[in-house]
Structure 1
């Protein structure tokens, strides 16, 4: 139990008491405040006297204040159970985006920023970075283009792109598709998955409804023995949001037009110039080199998986179903079967050692030890005590949400760090993947006082039942650790301006800190420390576990995962790795291709589904419906791909390129001793604390003591 000194945070957590009306009212109030700040600067500051303090500092402070409410206003659309609140949040975000576009295209303000920029004042490094980024930002928003029709068109495009992005993500969040199957058709799918599915009546009597949410979708693709069922699920999932297909096409056409108005040859050049990669050529060379290195491994892996498929079908007397091909809908199934048969990897047995709640506690303990933190869960009356309204329910958006106050340990000074929220189970209308959302960034206010951050982990793990807690597969443990890594980045960051807080780094670096932390999930000592067999959690769980076993295997498993099972997990880390990375390459190369058109006409004429599916076939080498005579337009995977609309456009390569940095950091500093607290704290202060407040390459070099290298990355993939 944490000591009393950790019980009274110096700052109340945010409130989640909005109504649909208040979201719109609050948004308009924030905008009016912000507009008044800008109008005041334009009215009272002359170009000759323009300076950082008179022009940029008031706007940065306004950003700080605005961010305390604006992030939460937009957050409701991802988590609220009320469709009216989600709709209002979406509408509010659109109003805010429109204002943001207006503000960033004000000629009068740009003239003053430009004058302050050219003054060459001596500023502290973070303020200098803010000045440079803001100055460049105005130019990238069209203020380098002469006023007139071209600039007006650019503004129109920016507003439409904002609408497209919001609508696209809303369609994904609210997607309610699914398929009805008989339990026989789902043979092989774990019983606890099937028992959790909605039961049918009327024409669907005797059937269960499989949604496309992760807890239903992935176990079906991994375990359903019936290939036709897997094929149907796979194809329907790729077509679950077809209304997004025209929105995606419109977005890439508009992005290309906007980039050309600014004088760039394409959208990718525009997007990448301020990233670590700097040019599309650097990205294309990296992806091309990786593709060349991975392709032979992918072909070898498919050959082995084809053998396994032939053997499996023969064993089941289904040889006539083997046409010698290896399909998209085969891959998760035979990958799982290979892990089970050749590496004795029983995912169900492994999951029994990763109950969600104890796994999270174990992860938080790792972060405590490594980074010098203390996590204190806030429950019951303690919630009432810290809520500004005196009501504990007001500090969460749903009853399932857990809240922690986060502190420095004694060695780090025992100060308050911020708030961490965990929202872990699926529900209707909720964001469908796993992600970290910043609720309130940290910054230094105008009185020099620190404002502390709040951050939320939003996931979709299965809910506990009276007989079983929520149990995680090992890959879900890795996902959870990764997203929690973003949360820690968000919490421990210490920047002057909210603009650079936490994960507000360039996109081709932002994944690196979290990817590095994934290594702890592959370290035997840490796997053991995270594990606890669920039968040891309570007498009722023990009883339920015993009931589920046959007479011969009723002796209770050990409390922590046995070494033999841990060895099996570690051995499988790079099994079928080439195919996994070729899948990532497909996403990255598709993203670059649609944003690197030779001409605007070429982008307008692009057949996007054909390109998406053809590239997948060419890069991953997996067969698809196109090999059954259906052509390449059988699915709209791009319409389900929120990343490319939500900020990773011409940036998805960052998942792969940041692995270069994460592997380098881990191999160089942590591989020998992952729980080295001294290095953990150095990593916290040198990398995580900086956020985006300095050039990310500088951050890396400060930590590594040299320029980063690709050696560890290729070594990890066995491609040296």
Structure 2
């Protein structure tokens, strides 16, 4: 039970009691209310009488109220175990998207907004930004195009793109493929995983079902000794959603057509105009510069890894000619082998010190200390109390979900901050990656009262078993920190309008705050404070550890210093190849969104482009060097690339460019003393609190006390400026 002062948050959490019919009914009710707000403004005002208060404010307040319900309505399709509910959520999102397109293209509303914009009223900075962004948004949504066939076509395209996005993500969420393997084919894969796999019957008697979900996929690519097994898994995973191939192509073509209707040269120019980069040339130059700096490093890393592969095959008596190639399905395996051989790094051993439950507790403790927060898990009676007479199960969407109330500590005023949810294990139909979802934004309501946010981390870590809890590899600890970084951004943001809340920043900045927090996973004191060997969690786990390890003596409770030193020594091992992989994604994204003409994009073989670019940039061989030499159509990785359909189009470079800002912030402010609470709170109030309510570059300059630069980024990568 929570301490008394934390038991009654001033705002109840949302309840997850939707039905298939309520999702649609609620969506229609919200759309009707919103349309009425717009109709009333148009009926009551003229361009002469329109001002910010009577035109912009009613719509902004309606947006605030809409977001309280619509984010959750759309969230069910990512997390519900009920397919009918997921389908209804998808249908509701289509209705909302169609209405959003209708609203964004209302010329009668735009005429009033345009009149307000041209009056140049004296407004507070956030309201001024809202007006500027809304005005520009109408133009970017086709209202700068004369009414007629062109504008009608633009609207048609917007609707179809919305349908594609929803269908594409639904296919990924509901992907349920996999492969049957014999236990021998899975030699080397950790026993914990192998023993948890579904056993075959009938024609698959004696085989095990391996899915493409991360807890199955990554350990198999990392540990399977059989190269043919790794190849089968890798190639099948690239082809797991081939129904998305035509959708991806259609989206690329429609985006290009829409951009040209608006008078842009291509979709990239349209998308990047309002980002920090401003122009495609800035992005192309950044990516090309990074590629030139990383290419030689990548070649050197492959050379070393290929030598390791040759030795490994020789020692195992394998002479099949594959030692001439370093394959895509080799990389996770030999990267792991190199860490074990050259750095004495056993990721399985390290994972024993990071049970999910204690790692989360340690992580929240770091954020408490750094940002002046208090996280209080809501369980048992406290859940029931917050369900207002209902069951405590109604304030979560699945029994595995944890929920926390988040508060300012006494030094920050002891006020309520919001709700944090953790949904950490895979299940059928659930979103398959790791992400942070805003469930309800924060804002100031029309009475001047603060509305508090709710945010959810949705991840896919391995489930606990009777013999072992869920144990995190170090890279999963980093993932958890990253996503929780987005969650903290969402929680501590304090904006007037929901439009700018939390992570609603430009895409080439949004990753910087969470990337910066990844650095805490590489500092010795923080790693040690997070660690807690699983054998100390319960007598059962202690016995299971002794049984599996054959060791009667328990290990140290915290991770040994030599393990930490070995881990930190590996931070930049094969770093060039890691960043070249990101560069491949970013370059592919720009290539398909930056054609010289519409005819060029029509002629583009997207699958070949994706695979060829990967070979040219990342330098790893694929099946194209094997049986059908020169055939680049063996896999459709773009069809699994949800980012490029879900908002990162002509924006994936942001993962790399955000690293420039995150490295600059960490090295300049936190490197010497990562747990400096004064600087942590300054960062919270200067950067995170503002969300997207200010120009992101101005926020950065204020925090750093100067213009940001690339020095720390290149230093971190170990390459010259």
For 1:620-664, what per-residue CA distance to the aligned partner results, in whole angstroms no more than 9, with x for missing partners? 010111111351111100000000000000000000000000000
- 1:106 & 1:40 partners in 2: Cα distance? 13
Q: Say how many residue pairs are matched.
A: 718
Of residues 587-596 and 620-629 in structure 1, the stretch that sits farther from structure 2 once superposed is 620-629
Aligned equivalents of 1:423, 1:3: Cα separation in 2: 24
Q: Does 1:113 align with 2:113?
A: yes
SS at match of 1:433: coil
Query: Residues of 1 paired with 2:262 and 2:389: CA distance?
Result: 49
Measured in 2, the distance between the counterparts of 1:118 and 1:428 equals 52
In structure 2, the residue matched to 1:131 is 131
Q: CA deviation at 1:391?
A: 1.6
Name the structure 2 match of 1:716. 716
Cα distance between partner residues in 2 of 1:554 and 1:348: 19
Contact 1:310 1:319 in 2 (8 A): no
Deviation at 1:380, TM superposition (A): 0.8
Q: CA deviation at 1:469?
A: 0.3
Contact 1:664 1:713 in 2 (8 A): yes
Contact 1:291 1:619 survives alignment (8 Å)? yes
Counterpart secondary structure, 1:306: helix
Q: Distance in 1 between matches of 2:221 and 2:252?
A: 31
Q: What CA distance in whole angstroms lies between the structure 2 residues aligned with 1:177 and 1:205? A: 18
1:191 paired residue number: 191
**Aligned positions of 1:72-83 closer than 5 A:** 72-83=72-83
User: Which residue of the partner structure matches residue 584 of structure 1?
Assistant: 582
Q: CA deviation at 1:466?
A: 1.0
Q: Structure 1 residue 322: deviation in Å?
A: 3.4
Q: Which residue matches 1:645?
A: 645
Matches within 5 A, 1:478-517: 478-517=478-517
TM-score between the two structures when normalised by the length of structure 1 = 0.99
Aligned to 1:560: 558
Task: Assess if the C-alpha contact under 8 Å between 1:50 and 1:115 holds in 2.
Answer: yes
CA distance, structure 2, for counterparts of residue 146 and residue 45 of structure 1: 23
Aligned match of 2:634: 634
Distance 1:538 1:59 in 2: 55
**1:170 counterpart residue number:** 170
The 3-state SS of whatever aligns with 2:185 is coil
For 2:437, the equivalent position in structure 1 comes to: 437
In the other structure, the counterpart of 2:610 is 612
SS in 1 for 2:460: coil
Contact 2:309/2:323 (<8 A) preserved: no
Partner of residue 570, structure 1: 568
Q: Is the 8 A contact 2:533 2:557 kept in 1?
A: yes
Q: Is the contact made by 2:17 and 2:394 (CA closer than 8 Å) also made in structure 1? A: yes
- Superposed displacement of residue 319, structure 1: 3.0
The C-alpha deviation readout for 1:295-347, integer Å capped at 9, x for no partner, is 00000000000000000001111133434110101111000000011001101
SS of equivalent to 1:185: helix
Q: Which moved more, 1:620-629 or 1:683-692?
A: 620-629
Question: 2 CA distance for matches of 1:667 and 1:8?
Answer: 40
Q: Distance in 1 between matches of 2:549 and 2:76?
A: 43
What residue is the counterpart of 2:679 in the other structure? 679
The correspondence of residues 383-532 of structure 1 with structure 2, limited to 5 A, is 383-532=383-532
Would you say the 8 A contact 2:2–2:382 is kept in 1? no
Q: Does 1:598 align with 2:618?
A: no
Aligned to 2:324, the other structure's residue is in SS state coil
1:693 aligns with 2:687: no
Does the aligned pair in 1 maintain the 2:2–2:378 contact within 8 Å? no
Partner SS, residue 376 of structure 2: strand
Query: How far apart, CA to CA, are the structure 2 residues paired with 1:184 and 1:559?
Result: 35
Task: String of CA shifts for 1:42-78, please: whole Å, max 9, x gaps.
Answer: 0001100111111110000000000000000000000
Aligned-partner SS, 1:48: coil
In 1, the alpha carbon distance for the partners of 2:301 and 2:62 equals 54
SS at match of 1:350: helix
- SS class of match (2:632): coil
SS in 1 for 2:439: strand
Quick one: distance in 2 between partners of 1:122 and 1:196? 64
- 2:310 touches 2:323 (CA, 8 Å); kept in 1? no
Q: Which residue number corresponds to residue 57 of structure 2?
A: 57
d(CA) in 2 for partners of 1:58, 1:406: 30
State how far apart, in whole Å, the 2-side matches of 1:40 and 1:190 are: 63
Distance 1:427 1:360, change over 3 A: same
Q: RMSD across aligned C-alpha pairs, in angstroms? A: 0.7
Show the counterpart of 1:242: 242
The separation in 1 between residues aligned to 2:699 and 2:689, in whole angstroms, is 10
TM-superposition CA deviations, 1:543-562 (whole Å, max 9, x none): 11111122xx3210000000
Aligned to 1:203: 203
Structure 1: 4+ residue segments shifted above 6 A = none
Quote the residue 1:623 is aligned against.
Answer: 621
Question: Deviation at 1:4?
Answer: 1.9
- Give the secondary structure class of the aligned counterpart of 1:574: coil
CA deviation digits over 1:492-534, x for unaligned, max 9?
A: 0000000000000000000000000000000000000000000
Q: Is the 8 A contact 1:313 1:321 kept in 2?
A: no
Answer whether contact 2:42 2:109 (CA < 8 A) is retained: yes
Q: Which residue of 2 aligns with 1:145?
A: 145
Contact 1:177 1:240 (8 Å CA) reproduced:
yes
What is the match of residue 542 of structure 1? 542
What does residue range 206-245 of structure 1 map to in structure 2 within 5 Å?
A: 206-245=206-245
